[in-house]
Amino acid sequence: MRRKLAAGNWKMNGTSATLTEISALQKLLPANAPEVLICPPAPLLFRAAQIAANTGIRIGAQDCHAETSGAYTGDTSAAMIVDTGAAHVIIGHSERRTAHAEQDADIAAKARTAWAAGLNTIICIGEDLETRENGTTLDLIATQLAGSIPDAASAENTIIAYEPIWAIGTGKIPTLPQIIEVHDFIRATLTTRFDADTANAIPLLYGGSVKPDNAAQIFTAENVDGALVGGASLKASDFAPIVTALAQS
């Protein structure tokens, strides 16, 4: 059985006071909880990892640099992330692709660097509204998969998050058939590229306006193994029901 994962991306939200949400979340988790990951902003990683140490909740970063060290003011290396106690890193989020002009090749380079440091990567892909409306979503997904995911991807080092840009922070979500179509396509594409065991074991997350009231339906899709949650991951009381819905799926 594939591992299930509920991941929270806090984006540029929160201060040290917000970290109490991690212990609050632990108290609300069901006994059979799947993997739970919280990705706070970089300055909070170290304290977040300390707080999460005995909870079973894991901590991840939101980005890392493709180089291992050097003159890159403001950036964070993969080794620095490992040093905080975090085990995961999100790579290629659409907000970084858009605001920082990250290309598929940059994302693949970051993934290789993150793996070399021992991090598990959540590699994000997803179409914008124009692509969705002109009917070329699957072409773009194929291009992003080919360009952003290096050949050395495995179920141990990679999770893929499908996040349609038009669904992020908008309250709009694709229909269930649209989610199923893309996730099935991602799985099929992985199957043509990797061995069957690898292709079947890489967890596929859906992201974009996942909320307590829509999570259970999204998790009915066979190739949805969890969620990457933005706004609803900031409060334990919102995130816990999503984790519970995943545990029950």
Active site residues: 93, 163
Among the listed ranges 22-30, 112-120, 201-209, 218-226, the one in contact with ligand 13P (CB under 6 A) is 201-209
Separation of alpha carbons 123 and 160, rounded Å? 5
Q: How far is the CB of 54 from ligand 13P (least distance, A)?
A: 26
Does residue 234 bind ligand 13P (CB under 6 A)? no
- The contacts of residue 230 (CB under 8 Å, 6+ apart) are 8, 9, 11, 168, 169, 207
String of DSSP letters for 93-115: -HHHHHHS---HHHHHHHHHHHH
Residue from the set 104, 106, 163, 225 that interacts with ligand 13P by CB under 6 A = 163
Q: How far is the CB of 45 from ligand 13P (least distance, A)?
A: 16
CA neighbor of 42 nearest in space, from 65, 26, 22 = 65
CA neighbor of 193 nearest in space, from 156, 159, 150 = 150
Does residue 238 bind ligand 13P (CB under 6 A)? no
Residue from the set 199, 201, 210, 218 that interacts with ligand 13P by CB under 6 A = 210
Q: Of the two residues 103 and 170, which places its CB atom closer to ligand 13P in the complex? A: 170
Q: How far is the CB of 31 from ligand 13P (least distance, A)?
A: 26
Find out whether 162 and 187 touch, Cβ atoms under 8 Å: no
